[in-house]
Structures are given as structure tokens and as C-alpha cells.
């Protein structure tokens, strides 16, 4: 009887210890199954509030409308320059006809005046051609800015989708679900993150394109300014 009592007293603490160890192991296993999103250090794409994203999206849509308006203005200015060049070329053709007539009647003074007028029109055409190059560059910038605005909207929409799914798949809501549900949530979030990163890379390329075209506009303006200074304008 003494031996049995001793065994009973010895088994009690061991059972408790074993239960504690098993509980700890079980909890550790659950931690391993916890999505990486639960660890703030493992989040690749920063978490932002829905309101912050919505504000950026609204601003992006306004920017897009402004870009569309600038594009229309740039196209209209280009048409005006093309029309002005055509008008000057018609004037030169008229001057040449008048010069031929003045030669026939030997109007030397008028012929000299027509030469001066022809030279002035040619100089004007040269400036207009440079201005046309500038206007074409401005159209390119406006188009690239519109594309950039469209890409920005896509990026923000995808980011909104990601943040919404992050809220739906937060750890407390899926902790009690099975492995399949947790794996599905992790896969959905991962695919959204990859898609968003691809769009962000495209947006970065669009930003570089805008900057490159803006540089070209500045170069065209410098050329036009130099030509104007040369003519004393």
C-alpha cells in the first residue's frame, strides 16, 4: 500500500508537466501556421488606411482630368502652329509670283522689297518650325502624363483591394479556421501583393517616361529661345 501511494504522488506532477509541454507545443505549432501578415516585420507592402488610399485615389482622378485637359490644349496649340506655317508658306509662294512679275516689268525697287519680305517670311517659318517641334514635345508630355495618371489610379485601386483583403483575412478572424482556409487567405494576399508590385514597377517606368519627355520639352524651348535671340527678338 505504501508503494502505491508513493507512485500516485509521483505520477501527479509528471502528468501536469506533460500537459504543460503538450500545450506549449500545440501553441507553437499554431504560431507557425499564423500568416506572415501577422508579423509586422514581414509585411512587404506597408499597411495604409482605406481613407488614406481613397484620398489619394480621388486626387489621382483629379490629376487625370487635368492631364486630359492639358493634352487637349497642347494638341490645339500644335494645330495652330501648323496653320501658321501653312499661311507663311502661301505668303512666300505669292511673293515669288510677284517677284516674277516685277522682273517682267523691271520694277527694281519692288523686287528688292519683295526679297526682304521673302526673307522675313522664311525666318518666321524657321521659328514656327522650331515652335512646332516644341508643341509636338508638349503633346508627348501631356500624353505621357495622362498615361501616368491612369497607371496611378490602377495602382491605388489594387492597393485598396489588398488592404480590404488584409482586413478580411486578419489573424483573429481566420485563427479558428482550418488549414485550407488559412492557405487560401495567404495565397490571395500573396497574389494581390505580386500584382500590386508589378503595377508599381510599371508606374515607376511611367514616371521615368514623363521625366524624359519633360526634359525634351525644356531642350526644345532652349533651342527656340536661342533662335529668337539670334534674330534679335
CB 179 within 8 A of CB 148: no
Question: Is 17's pLDDT higher than 50?
Answer: no
Residue 54: the pLDDT is 96
Question: Is 187's pLDDT higher than 90?
Answer: no
Q: How confident is the model at residue 130 (pLDDT cuts 50, 70, 90)?
A: very high
Averaged over 107-126, what is the pLDDT? 81
Residue 9: the pLDDT is 46
Tell whether the torsion through CA atoms of 16, 18, 20 and 26 is positive or negative.
negative
Closest CA to 144 of 212, 80, 196, 199: 212
Closest CA to 51 of 183, 156, 184: 156
Averaged over 23-37, what is the pLDDT? 42
Question: Is 102's pLDDT higher than 70?
Answer: no
Residues counted in the chain: 233
Averaged over 175-200, what is the pLDDT? 82
Domains, the chain = 50-230 (1.20.1270)
**Mean pLDDT, the chain, integer:** 81
Question: Is 233's pLDDT higher than 50?
Answer: yes
C-alpha dist (Å) from residue 228 to 116, 120, 121, 128: 18, 13, 14, 11
Alpha helices of 175-231 — where are they, by DSSP H?
Answer: 179-230
C-alpha dist (Å) from residue 153 to 140, 195, 232: 20, 14, 47
**Is the model more confident about 189 or about 205?**
205
Residue 215: the pLDDT is 97
**What is the C-alpha separation between 217 and 233, in angstroms, rounded?**
21
What is the tens place of the pLDDT at every residue in 40-49?
A: 556 788 889 9
**What is the C-alpha separation between 116 and 120, in angstroms, rounded?**
6
What is the tens place of the pLDDT at every residue in 143-152?
A: 999 999 999 9
Amino acid at each position: 500500500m505504501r508503494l502505491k501511494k508513493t507512485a500516485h504522488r509521483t505520477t501527479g506532477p509528471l502528468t501536469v508537466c506533460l500537459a504543460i509541454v503538450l500545450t506549449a507545443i500545440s501553441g507553437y505549432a499554431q504560431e507557425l501556421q499564423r500568416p506572415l501578415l501577422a508579423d509586422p516585420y514581414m509585411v512587404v507592402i506597408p499597411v495604409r488606411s482605406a481613407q488614406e488610399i481613397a484620398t489619394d485615389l480621388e486626387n489621382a482622378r483629379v490629376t487625370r482630368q487635368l492631364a486630359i485637359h492639358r493634352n487637349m490644349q497642347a494638341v490645339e496649340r500644335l494645330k495652330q502652329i501648323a496653320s501658321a506655317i501653312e499661311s507663311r508658306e502661301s505668303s512666300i509662294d505669292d511673293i515669288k509670283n510677284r517677284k516674277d512679275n516685277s522682273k517682267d516689268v523691271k520694277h527694281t525697287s519692288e523686287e528688292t522689297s519683295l526679297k526682304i519680305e521673302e526673307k522675313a517670311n522664311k525666318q518666321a517659318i524657321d521659328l514656327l518650325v522650331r515652335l512646332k517641334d516644341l508643341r509636338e514635345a508638349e503633346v508627348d508630355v501631356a500624353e505621357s502624363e495622362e498615361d501616368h495618371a491612369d497607371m496611378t489610379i490602377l495602382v491605388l485601386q489594387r492597393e485598396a483591394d489588398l488592404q480590404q483583403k488584409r482586413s478580411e483575412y486578419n489573424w483573429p478572424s481566420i485563427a479558428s479556421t482550418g488549414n485550407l482556409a488559412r492557405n487560401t487567405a495567404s495565397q490571395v494576399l500573396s497574389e494581390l501583393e505580386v500584382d500590386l508590385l508589378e503595377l508599381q514597377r510599371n508606374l515607376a517606368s511611367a514616371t521615368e517616361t514623363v521625366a524624359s519627355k519633360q526634359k525634351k520639352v525644356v531642350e526644345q524651348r532652349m533651342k527656340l529661345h536661342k533662335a529668337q535671340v539670334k534674330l534679335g527678338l
